[in-house]
Amino acid sequence: MTRSCSELERAKAMQIVQRPFLVVRAPGSGSEGTGDILALRGDMCFPIEVKSSKKDRIYLSGRTKDQYNALKTTGEDCGLLPLYGFRLKGVRGDSWRIFKVDVDGLTGKLRHLSRSVPSLPLTKTGSQFLDWKKGMPLHRFIALISKSDGARSIESLPDSKLLNSISN
């Protein structure tokens, strides 16, 4: 992911090393409500549905709409913040964008985090879809979740110490 990123994007993405997640491919990937992968850490857990396309928009219908609805239900039933990771093929730099599935009943860190992550936009008829241009770049999301519980923020470091912070 970081090979074609700028130095700042790479530094922000590498913050995850300080507070890593266990990432597990969900059994029966694509099963209702589980997403494709689960990212787990002591203070956060995200079911993540992964999509990739050469086009910058993906419209949800049929099976993909059912996946969205199941993620929403699972998030509300379990108090989780489901996410979509959308990779735009052919893009240099950070080609991933993150979107949240709007769920009710979040508490604590997930509720606070959900305020910063964009929701899937809506079509004129009110259906959710993925618009790569409206998502949060993955390196920004990683920097955001790496800030919690005393992790050093990359934004607080002077430029001269930026690269040293990830090499130590």
Rg (C-alpha) for the chain, rounded Å, is: 16
Q: Are 15 and 151 in contact (CB under 8 A)?
A: yes
Whole-number pLDDT of residue 159: 45
**CA separation, residue 134 to residues 9, 24, 84, 87 (Å):** 18, 27, 12, 13
Whole-number pLDDT of residue 168: 43
CA separation for the pair 79, 138 (Å, rounded): 23
List the domains of the chain with CATH numbers: 7-161 (3.40.1350.10)
- Tally of residues, the chain: 168
CA separation for the pair 50, 29 (Å, rounded): 10
Closest CA to 28 of 36, 17, 20, 38: 36
Instruction: Assign 137 to helix, strand or coil.
Output: strand
- Contacts with 162 (C-beta within 8 Å, 6 or more apart), sequence order: 7, 8, 11, 154
Instruction: Assign 117 to helix, strand or coil.
Output: coil
Q: Are 1 and 96 in contact (CB under 8 A)?
A: yes
Whole-number pLDDT of residue 66: 92
Q: Per residue of the chain (168 residues), what is the pLDDT tens digit? A: 556 667 876 677 677 677 788 899 977 655 677 889 999 998 899 999 999 999 999 999 998 999 999 999 999 999 999 999 999 999 988 899 999 999 999 999 999 999 999 999 999 999 999 999 999 999 899 889 987 554 344 444 444 444 444 444
Name the pTM for this structure.
Answer: 0.80
Q: Are 123 and 129 in contact (CB under 8 A)?
A: yes
Whole-number pLDDT of residue 29: 54
